[in-house]
Amino acid sequence: MRILALDVGERRVGVAVSDPTGTIARPLYAIRRASRAEDFAAIADLVEEYQAEAVVVGQPLSLDGHAGPQARRVARYADALAESLTVPVIPSDERFSTARADEILRETRGERAKRRARANGEIDAIAAAVILQRYLDSERGD
């Protein structure tokens, strides 16, 4: 079962997809945010293109698990997205996903590449892959 994941930010939405077995996540790219209608159309196209059976949306909870203003904005976005898609939209804790994405970039490409990845949105796609991998692992009980 292929699943998409989203890391919803104010300027971009990072996108990742699982392999067809739902085991491994990989980053795709970041969608530059426009209107919700344009965002949702782009996401619906990805659901169709990858034949995704669900969309996981990272929830930016605080360290203590509390939903602050950003988490509430993302929850509203996810609720509206769910109304526009034919597949389930599943919230998932995204705490530390961007920090882990930074770490992955630093380990694999160095500090300079990390700065470039932040500027071009690649970091958002990697964070979405981190969110998705955690979700996939938790579904398997890992």
- In order of their start, the domains of the chain are 3-140 (3.30.420.140)
Query: Which positions ≥6 away from 37 have C-beta within 8 Å?
Result: none
Residues in the chain: 142
pLDDT band, very low/low/confident/very high, at 141 (cuts 50, 70, 90): confident
Predicted confidence (pLDDT) at residue 115 exceeds the cutoff of 80 = no
Please give the model's pTM, rounded to 2 decimal places.
0.87
63-97 per-position pLDDT tens digit: 777 777 888 999 999 999 999 999 999 999 877 77
- Residue given tokens 């360290």 in the structure block: 63
Edge-first strand order for the sheet with 3-8 is: 25-32, 12-18, 3-8, 54-59, 89-93
- The pLDDT value given to residue 113: 67
User: Which one-letter DSSP state was computed for residue 72?
Assistant: H
